[in-house]
Every structure is written in structure tokens, then in C-alpha cells.
Structure 1
Amino acid sequence: MGDNDTTDSPAERYPDRATIRDVAARAGVSVGTVSKALNDNGRLKQETRDKVIAAANALGFRPNAMAQSLHRANSMTVGILSTDSFGRFTFPIVEALEERLAEHGIAVFMCNATDDPAREKQHLDQLLGKRIDGLVVTARRMDRRPAIAVPGNSMPVIYVFSQADDPDALCLLPDDHAGAVLAVEHLIDGGRKRIAHVTGPERFEAVTLRHRGYVDALTKAGLAARAGYYRNGKWSEESGRDAVVALFDGSNEAPDALFCGNDQIARGATDALRELGLRVPQDVAVVGFDNWDVMALAARPPLSSVDMNLRALGRAAGERLIAMIAGARLKGVERLPCSLVVRASSVPPPSPKTDKKTIEEDHP
């Protein structure tokens, strides 16, 4: 290097980190007093505590997180084990969960097992090795799965958008039945009487619960669940298009509304209705499920849809986990409310005399 080279050496760029002994020397107290002051325990005068904190701040001292965790028996970290490689359902849950835990100074480690038991076990072993204080298990679907085996049941585990086959597990889920009731009652309130239900494979519990809600809402209104109006298929736009072709083939009285099991099905259905020359919602109203912006807002017209309030699930999981880490014993299945976002696919365009606020064109 030349004489005029002003580049700092590695030692200058990265000076030695201040130690607890440095803080003690600067504050003129013992190492034990520094520990008590920074961990907010023991009997100290406020003046002494303030002096230690000022010394630590001046030196840029940061306590060793692992040493602190050993001292208080908590690592202030939580693991998230997911099987949702796509992230459609997991990301909103995890985002809200992290925000809630961060309010308590708790950090998150996230691992994706992608439905591979061996990979899941590997991730679990790694998380346990980090001495996490709790575990959140989530997935891309809500059906039951084997419970996570935690040695000695020594750590809180919560299943979110997922269920364990253990009756003592705590599982947080959206209320699929009540969400379906919201959708169908909305269509009935709009004057629809011939409502078909187009949804996914029957093997999914969510499909069963939503169909039950559909039937219950019709029954409450004195309407029949007509033969041929319940259509199962794939979770795809193609399945929605195929269902419309079958429902409107002229062999039976055609529906005046469709309650779809997800937004992909609903979007395929609206495309097929348009190709048949039918207007949405004037001729056929459509409501989807999931309130997935990518599908719901891109559809023409924009889709009314049931929102599972995934962020609320994440916040609730954070609150329950904090309570369990503190010693609360929680178990059972909690089903949290869904909400209905009304857009143009289920409400006719407003006339000049109609309050235009009845239609929500954008996500709330």
C-alpha cells in the first residue's frame, strides 16, 4: 500500500467488542453489579443502575444473548415449522406472529419441511438445539397431521392453520363453517334463490365444513340444497370453468349464484360465465373464499370473497404462545372468525341513486 492509503486495517474497522469487565471498569463497579443492572434484577440504587447503563451505552456493549438465556432459562427465540413452500397461507400468519412476538423481544427461526418427514425431523432437531422457547407449526392446508414429538413435553407447541392428532394440542384455525354461512347469507340477502356450491376435493376437512355451512344457510332461509348444485373438483380455475359448463348445460334450471370454495375456482367460473354470455353479477352472482388479492382483484369483475383473517390467526398464535411460555396450559381447537369482503361480483353496479359505498372495489 502507498503512503497515502487511508484504508483502515481490519482491526481498526472492527474494534474489539466491549466486555462486561470494560463496563464495570468504566462505571467503577463490580462485574456482578453490572450483571444485576443490565438484567434488571437484584437490589441496586437507581443511581448505580443508571451509571451502569450509561457506561454500557457509551462503550456500545451488548450482552451475550446465549449467556443471558442460560441465566434466565429462556432463549427468547421461537421456531416456526412450515410445510407451505408456496407461502400463500403461511406468510400472512408468520408476518403477524413475528410482529406480536417482537413486542416481547422474541425472535423467530423459520424452517420449511415441504411435507418431508425426514426433513421435518432434521429441522426440529436443529430448532431444539437452539433451545427455542416454543414452536409454531403451520401448513398450506388445515387437515390433521401427526403431533410434533417434543422430548418430555417440555416446550409449548401451537398448530396454526394446521391440526394435530393430539387432543391436548392447541390448534388455531379459521372458522370455515361460519365463513360459508356469511357467503351464502350474503347471496340470499341479494335476492338469490338458486345457489350452487362449487368447491375442491371432498377429502379436505375445509370442504366438508364449508359445504355444511352452505347447507345450513340455505335451510335457515327455507331454500333447498338442490341436486346437482354441489360440485367437487380441483382447487383450480379449470375446475371452476368445468363446473359452470355442467351447471349451465340446459338440462336443469340454472343457478342464479355460485358460492365457490376458493378464489381460483371463482375466477375460472366468472370467465366461463362471461364466455356463455352471462353477466356477473346481474345474471349470476359469484362469491369466492380466501380473499387472495392476486385472484380476487384481478378477476373481472373483482370477486367478493370470504377472508380467513390469516393475520389475526398469526397475532392470536403469538398471544397464546407468549402465555404458554409464561406457564399457561392451553389446549383444544379454536376457530377464529372469518369476514366477508364484498366486491362487484356479487352486487350489481350501483345506479346513480345508490350509495356507491356498498361495493368495495379494493382490499380493506
Structure 2
Amino acid sequence: MAPDRIGRIEEGRATLSDVARAAGVSVATASKALNKRIHVKEETRKRVEAAALSLDFTPNFFAKALNSARTNTIGMVTSDLDNRFVLPILLGAEDAFGAGSLSVLLADARDDAMRERLHIETLLTRKIDGLLVVGRTTNPRPPVSIAADVPVVYVYAPSTDTADASFTPDNVLAGRLAARRLLEAGRRSIALVNGESSYAAAQDRARGVTQELREWGIALTGGESLFGQWGERWGRDCARLVASAHPDLDAIVAGSDHIARGVLDSLERLGRRVPDDIAVVGFDNWDILAAESEPPLTSIDMNLEHLGRAAAQALVEAIDGRPRTGLHQEVVRLVVRESA
């Protein structure tokens, strides 16, 4: 028997700190390795287990139980609680967690990275079992920095780390569905009045529209997606210009329901009937806009409650030791009304 091992036994039972020191890792990493937790490399795990064996390390099972005990509490951090896309995601997530079975602690970072970090630190002191990070746009975001072994799932805004689990609407599919609706209705001169080009949603929707048109052997009227602001004024101004420049125009895909409302206003002023002369499709299916438009607006529903439920379910599975990785693009759906 090695002298250092004899000395250690004579001094008393080996501790987790002894195992960590022998394996050349932190105490936290040693604990994760011995408890078969995720995010530990196999090489590191084997090194820790070998060190524990050589030291006759016997875990303190009471401490282990305390360390692994769940609080049945989930943390949720959103970038913008007032954002109209966030609430349905939160409702879907809460529904998936189950009434009364899990407590949810919600924090609003207000699109501030420092505030987000402080909120997460506070949630970790409450011993949350997992964390759901809800973005305000679908633009990819940096992963949160968490020292503790707490599962994290991203929803709406995906993490830039492909090892993380991220859930976002399939905006490429959304674009394809919008274009397909118009093409199947016989429309052949189709313009895309889009939102801001810095938004991943606008780029992805444009990609979907052009992909669908290409398969039908058709190019966008105007030659490209017309990027602008996410608002009715841009919809009015752009629709007026594109309809005047292209008399044969028979359909417009609007990058959002807000834009679509502006498009409808301009077409009415130009005397172009919707959908008889020009059909219009929007995105987001925001009832207060889509259902109350004149005529009611055909729109792509991003299924945000479903998105929240899917992300929450993935978080529950991660807490149970079955983590997912990568980007999961969730299904969207077409809601047909009178505009197309």
C-alpha cells in the first residue's frame, strides 16, 4: 500500500476534497463525476472514479441526498415581459410544468445582460432544478453562464452553443406556407414586404418564401425581399410603391400582421380589392390585428404556446437526466381568413 494512502487512512476517512485533489479537478467537478451528472467528460469521470477507488473514498450518503434533492422549482428568465410574443410562450411552459407540481419563479431582465445575470444568480440561490431562458426575438444569443449543474433550455431566441437545447419557431416553414397558400390560389406575381433585415425571423421568412417560389419556377416581384420597419407605416408606403410599379401584382406576403395592416390600407386607397385583385398573407396571427382587419387577414400562427410547452418538456427531461441538445424548430400553421 502506498505511504500517502496509509497516512490518509490513519488520519481518517478520505473526503471529496481529497478525491478532487488527487484527480486534479475541482470539488464541484468531482461531485458531478461521482454522481453521474451531465456535462462531465468521460475521461474526467474515469480519472475521478480512479482517484476515489485508490483512496477508499466512501460517499457521505446523507450529504449526497441533500445535494441531489429537488426543490420542484423552475426558474424562468425573459428578456422582455411586455413583448406580445413572450406571454403565450410562458403560458405554454407553465401548462407543461403542470398545475401545482412545479413552482415557477419568473424574472424579467428587460433586455439587459447585467440584469439577466443578477436574476439568474438570485434564482440559483433559490435552488432551482432547471432554468428556461426566453428571448424577445429569434436572433441567436450567447449562452448564459452558470457554474452550478443546473439544466438550461432556451426558447424563442436560440443559444449560439449547439450543445445547448434551443426551441424556436420554424420561420423558414412559415415563409413557405405563406407563399404556398398564394401559389395554390393561382397567384403568380408575388411581392414580399418584409420587416427589419437585422432580425433572423425576417431573413428566415424571406428564405422560405423564395424557396417555395423557386420550386414553382417563379421569382419574387421586384426581384428581392423588401426589408423595412416592423410597422403599419412601412406596410403602407412599400405597398403603394410596389403596387404602382407592378400593375400585374396579384399577391403580397407581409413580414408581420402589423405590416399587413398597412398593406391593406394602401391597397384600399389605390382601389385594389383584397383578395380579388391582390391577396395578402401576414405572419404571427395576432388576433387583435388579424381577425379585426378589413378583410380579416390570413396569417401564419407561430404556435407559441406549443413552443413553450415543448421547451418546458425538454427542461423537465433534462432535470430527469435525459438532456437534449441542438436547435429544435417547432411547427407553425396557416390560419386562413378572407384576405387570401
Fold similarity call, TM over 0.5: yes
Give the letter for the 1:237 counterpart: E
Using the TM superposition, give the Cα deviation of residue 99 of structure 1 relative to its aligned residue in structure 2, in angstroms.
1.3
Give the letter for the 1:87 counterpart: N
Q: Distance in 1 between matches of 2:71 and 2:126?
A: 8
Using the TM superposition, give the Cα deviation of residue 204 of structure 1 relative to its aligned residue in structure 2, in angstroms.
1.3
Say which SS state the counterpart of residue 206 (structure 2) adopts.
helix
**Is 1:288 aligned with 2:282?**
yes
Using the TM superposition, give the Cα deviation of residue 315 of structure 1 relative to its aligned residue in structure 2, in angstroms.
1.1
**Is 1:145 aligned with 2:141?**
yes
Q: Distance in 2 between matches of 1:334 and 1:326?
A: 19
Using the TM superposition, give the Cα deviation of residue 246 of structure 1 relative to its aligned residue in structure 2, in angstroms.
1.0
What's the % identity of the aligned pairs?
Answer: 38
Q: Distance in 2 between matches of 1:182 and 1:172?
A: 20
For 1:329, which of 307, 316, 323 is the aligned residue? 323
Partner of 1:99: 95
Partner of 1:215: 210
TM-score w.r.t. length of structure 2: 0.78
Q: Distance in 2 between matches of 1:204 and 1:113?
A: 20
For 1:90, which of 86, 89, 111 is the aligned residue? 86
Give the letter for the 1:301 counterpart: P
Using the TM superposition, give the Cα deviation of residue 71 of structure 1 relative to its aligned residue in structure 2, in angstroms.
8.3
Give the superposed CA RMSD: 1.6
Partner of 1:115: 111
Deviates more, 1:69-78 or 1:120-129: 69-78
Say which SS state the counterpart of residue 84 (structure 1) adopts.
coil
Say which SS state the counterpart of residue 99 (structure 1) adopts.
helix
Say which SS state the counterpart of residue 168 (structure 2) adopts.
strand
Q: Distance in 1 between matches of 2:84 and 2:184?
A: 31
Say which SS state the counterpart of residue 75 (structure 2) adopts.
strand
What is the correspondence of 1:1-364 to structure 2 with a 5 Å cutoff? 70=66, 73-102=69-98, 105-152=101-148, 154-228=149-223, 230-249=225-244, 251-346=245-340
Q: Distance in 1 between matches of 2:68 and 2:206?
A: 49
Distance 1:207 1:239, change over 3 A: same
Give the letter for the 2:274 counterpart: V
Give the letter for the 1:124 counterpart: I
Q: Distance in 2 between matches of 1:239 and 1:267?
A: 10
Q: Distance in 2 between matches of 1:129 and 1:254?
A: 63
Q: How many residue pairs end up in the alignment?
A: 276
Using the TM superposition, give the Cα deviation of residue 226 of structure 1 relative to its aligned residue in structure 2, in angstroms.
3.3
Say which SS state the counterpart of residue 333 (structure 1) adopts.
strand
Q: Distance in 1 between matches of 2:333 and 2:121?
A: 38
Say which SS state the counterpart of residue 258 (structure 1) adopts.
strand
Higher RCO structure, 1 or 2 (CA under 8 Å, sep 6+): 2
In structure 2, runs of 5+ residues without a counterpart are: 1-64
Q: Distance in 2 between matches of 1:264 and 1:227?
A: 21
Q: Distance in 1 between matches of 2:211 and 2:223?
A: 17
Q: Distance in 1 between matches of 2:243 and 2:179?
A: 20
Using the TM superposition, give the Cα deviation of residue 159 of structure 1 relative to its aligned residue in structure 2, in angstroms.
0.5
Using the TM superposition, give the Cα deviation of residue 334 of structure 1 relative to its aligned residue in structure 2, in angstroms.
0.4
Using the TM superposition, give the Cα deviation of residue 70 of structure 1 relative to its aligned residue in structure 2, in angstroms.
4.8
Distance 1:327 1:320, change over 3 A: same
In structure 1, runs of 5+ residues without a counterpart are: 1-68, 347-364
Using the TM superposition, give the Cα deviation of residue 115 of structure 1 relative to its aligned residue in structure 2, in angstroms.
1.1
TM-score w.r.t. length of structure 1: 0.73
